[in-house]
Chain A
Amino acid sequence: MWTLIAQIFPYAIAFTIPLLITSLGGLFSERSGVVNIGLEGLMVVGSFTGAIVIYTLQPIMSPDLAVWIGLLAAALAGGVFAILHAFASINLNANQVISGTAINMMAGALTVFLARNVTGSGNIPIVRGLLRRDVPILSEIPVIGRLFFTSTYATTWLVLAILLLGWYVIYKTSYGLRLRACGEHPHAADSAGVNVYKVRYIAVILSGAFSGLGGGILLVTIAGEFTGSVAGLGFLALAALIFGQWKPLGILGATAFFGLASTIANVSSVIPMLKVIPGVILKVFPYIVTLIALVAFSKSSQAPKAAGEPYEKGKR
């Protein structure tokens, strides 16, 4: 049992991290009042950009440096692409769900279109991704050291740091106060002199940058190549956002749960203990649980009140 847990734990964490950072992006966007179902597409954009940068740079510089530059580019590209969604939702009062769908479709089609111009097949392989490393000293701690600090990706610590920072920004800074006000009652924020458009733009661009980073991390830790899709992880991040009730610590728990559940489903065929459970049950488990959670939270939902509603200045 212990060896089993010790074996799957690093995989579960690796799977959790891109979900977590993407979900945190969604949190910023929705807390500001903009629903963003384009997370999936923004992850694809990040994965593509990361792949193309790393593919180009790895032959000419240290592979590690190339990976980090690729991740930075992924975040930037996600942020830039998210401006499309921000413009539609914030300036044009578009239906945010439709705009998000358009983002998903555009990202899927456009990146493969561009990738084909580079490699022909539309897939972009990278020479190598990020290496796993032990954290010095901490990995010596019994049990915990083995689970959390042995053979970890540096991106895991980066994302956890961003999560902590995100929590601080949302709850302790004036931007956070304004962000939450815009998501709950934008007219109140506006009448208090807050520039609702600006707050929302920043939040949506952040959501794009985080999702892009998520796509990039997926590429350099798990996938190893760009294939034109992130297999529904963006949608799962969206589910985690709801499951985590739009709170940073909540989504940490939700994504960890999804990470563990998905990892178990993926490795079940080689683990005797799990073999008895049909694969399909393990695979649909996270989605079913989300449906149940949606029902359970339906009465006491903490969803931002103004999420999804276009905001027009001067209209009461």
Chain B
Amino acid sequence: MDYVVEMLNIRKEFPGIVANDDITLKLKKGEIHALLGENGAGKSTLMSILFGLYQADRGQIRVNGKDVNISNPNVANELGIGMVHQHFKLVHNFTVTENIILGLEPKRGLSVDVKSAAKRVKELSEQYGLNVDPNAKIEDVSVGMQQRVEILKMLYRNADILIFDEPTAVLTPQEIEDLMKIMRNLIKEGKSIILITHKLKEIKAVADRCTVIRRGKFIGTVDVDSTTKAQMAEMMVGREVLFSVEKPDKEAGEVILKLDKVSVKSNREGVVAVKDFSLEVKEGEILGLAGVEGNGQSELVEAITGLKDIVSGKIFINGKDISNFSIRERINSGIAHIPEDRQKRGLVLDYTIGQNMVLEIYDRKPFSERGLLNHNAITEYAQQIVEDFDVRAGQGVESVARSLSGGNQQKAIVGREIELNPDLLIAVQPTRGLDVGSIEYIHSRLIEQRNRGKAILLVSLELDEVLNLSDRIAIINSGELVGIVDAKDTNENEIGLMMAGIKRGDTD
């Protein structure tokens, strides 16, 4: 059998943690090989070793049958290994060509020969059907196009072994389709691909074989065609995974949040991110907001919570117009918010968990009086949240937030927001980057809040999450409401189409 890459019995230890323990991955020539595992399972570490960013403590790497020592990315490049990083490594104010030739600039005399490089980029783009304009500036092209630039970067360096790190996370369904076509084209032209992912659907769609790792350990390599999704999921998590969440039927009650033709400006100059958006969220329901990243969800949430001003329209909570309220006034009116980026917005990482638990209410009694803090009251309150929400931290409430794992940080935030006892709970990507255990826990707490009659607005890029948790689903595209459907009588396909901007009924 012809293997282009063999990673044999790889072990890598970081202080206090074994990231890779005796992992073996063999890539056949001309195949798409998926590397499946949960967040934190050790996928990135393994690929970083192959790409020369880390050195393995033990184990062997063979490329095209020869033992190699990949000491840095340059060696990987010379061996024909290229990587499309999850976070693109592109300079925003450079052109496509400049980005591609960076580090490998063709010269004429002392100057960089941009012209001939651009020609070569164009040729490559045509050969693989990428359709990239070599002279466009990165900041002016779409995310999907940027990813193609990353692919071109590898092709320009004559890479034959391509690593894709979670490539679909930022793409629209249409762009995902295109990417898969491109991947098949690459295989046709003789390349071999490793696809890092935790999405089973994509593996089923394009991969030939799949290697599963869990908590740094090698679980197995399987043929994708002869393995079901459920089997792969069980290999990944280590136990049976429930694909749906139990939730009792419930009649929704009064309207809590009402958006009336809300428009919001984008973070980018001059663009409108949300247009005439109207929506109601009621007591005892989870309303899921589905959409591809960057279609106005973030701006909409920022407008509701007061982080961003609205251009026009009105926002009501319990019938009260809060359009001009400050952020704090909105919190006091009954809005709680689990933010999209827990480290950026959700926590002051250098504060203790105790201090973080009163971030919105430190100025209320009993936590402070006449401008002076009451540390005992704060500690007591935080203690309760830490216990109720199973937040695991070395020194309890005295632990610095930075020292907690991502899952525990998120549980602390969820606990803090639920403890505010809000009428409306806005949960944005509440489970991003967490392991399955934490995901299930947070899902169950959200459902519990719904059952207790709270209104919940759930914003998520994971379609499965939206489908499983929501009672109703609103779909947003380019800042406009495409439609609202009942979770019970819809499916992934329909929502996928609506996310692409195609309204219900348009297809018939």
Contact = CB atoms under 8 A, between A and B. Distances in A.
Asked whether the complex places CB atoms of A and B closer than 8 A, the reply is yes
A172 B89 contact: no
Nearest to A172: B111
A185 B101 CA distance: 15
Interface stretch (A47-55, A186-194, A257-265): A186-194
A189 B77 CA distance: 14
Contact of A188 (B54, B73, B91): B91
Nearest to A313: B53
Contacts of B99: 188
Contacts of B83: 191
Interface in A146-202: 172-174, 177-178, 180-181, 184-185, 187-194
Contact of A178 (B87, B103, B153): B103
B91 A181 contact: yes
A192 B54 contact: no
B410 to A, nearest CB: 20
Interface residues of A: mostly helix, strand, loop or mixed? helix
A193 B112 contact: no
Contact of B102 (A172, A173, A177, A314): A177
B365 interface: no
B110 A188 contact: no
Size band of the interface chain A makes with B: 20 to 34
B267 interface: no
A188 B90 contact: yes
B332 interface: no
A193 B77 contact: yes
A65 to B, nearest CB: 31
Nearest to A189: B102
A188 B89 contact: yes
A40 to B, nearest CB: 30
A26 B83 CA distance: 35
A192 B112 contact: no
Contacts of B73: 190-191, 193
Contact of A193 (B74, B87, B110, B111): B74
Interface string B43-80: 00000100001100000000000000000011001000
A305 interface: yes
A177 B98 contact: yes
Which has the most chain B C-beta neighbours within 10 Å: A173, A185, A192, A314? Answer: A192
Interface residues of B, number: 27
A181 B102 contact: yes
Interface in B258-273: none
A198 B274 CA distance: 45
Nearest to B102: A192
Given A174-B105, A185-B91, A314-B53, A191 B112 contact: no
B85 interface: yes
Nearest to B101: A177
Contacts of B74: 193
B92 A305 contact: yes
Contacts of B90: 185, 188
Given A173-B111, A174-B107, A191 B93 contact: no
Interface residues of B: mostly helix, strand, loop or mixed? loop
Contacts of B92: 184-185, 305
Contacts of B389: none
Which has the most chain B C-beta neighbours within 10 Å: A173, A174, A184, A314? Answer: A174
A192 B93 contact: no
Contact of A177 (B54, B87, B110, B112): B112
Which has the most chain B C-beta neighbours within 10 Å: A178, A305, A316? Answer: A316
Given A177-B105, A314-B53, A191 B89 contact: yes
Contacts of B53: 314
Contacts of A181: 91, 94, 102
Contacts of A184: 91-94
Nearest to B99: A188
A314 B54 contact: yes
B91 A180 contact: yes
A39 B53 CA distance: 35
A125 to B, nearest CB: 42
A164 B484 CA distance: 61
Interface string A269-301: 000000000000000000000000000000000
Contact of A187 (B89, B98, B104, B112): B89
A232 B80 CA distance: 53
A173 to B, nearest CB: 6
B395 to A, nearest CB: 26
Nearest to A305: B92
B85 A172 contact: no
Given A193-B74, A193-B103, A194-B102, A185 B54 contact: no
A276 B245 CA distance: 82
A92 B207 CA distance: 43
A170 to B, nearest CB: 12
A105 B102 CA distance: 38
B89 A178 contact: no
Which has the most chain B C-beta neighbours within 10 Å: A177, A189, A190, A305? Answer: A177
Contacts of B93: 184
Contact of A316 (B87, B98, B102, B103): B87
A32 to B, nearest CB: 13
Which has the most chain A C-beta neighbours within 10 Å: B77, B92, B94, B102? Answer: B102
14 contacts: A172-B111, A173-B110, A174-B107, A177-B102, A180-B91, A181-B102, A187-B89, A188-B90, A188-B91, A188-B102, A191-B85, A192-B89, A192-B153, A193-B104
Given A181-B91, A305-B92, 14 more contacts: A173-B112, A174-B112, A177-B112, A180-B91, A180-B94, A184-B91, A184-B93, A190-B73, A190-B89, A191-B83, A192-B102, A193-B77, A193-B103, A194-B103
Interface of B: 48, 53-54, 73-74, 77, 83, 85, 87, 89-94, 98-99, 101-105, 107, 110-112, 153
5 nearest A-B pairs in the assembled complex, by CB-CB distance: A192-B103, A188-B89, A174-B105, A193-B103, A192-B102
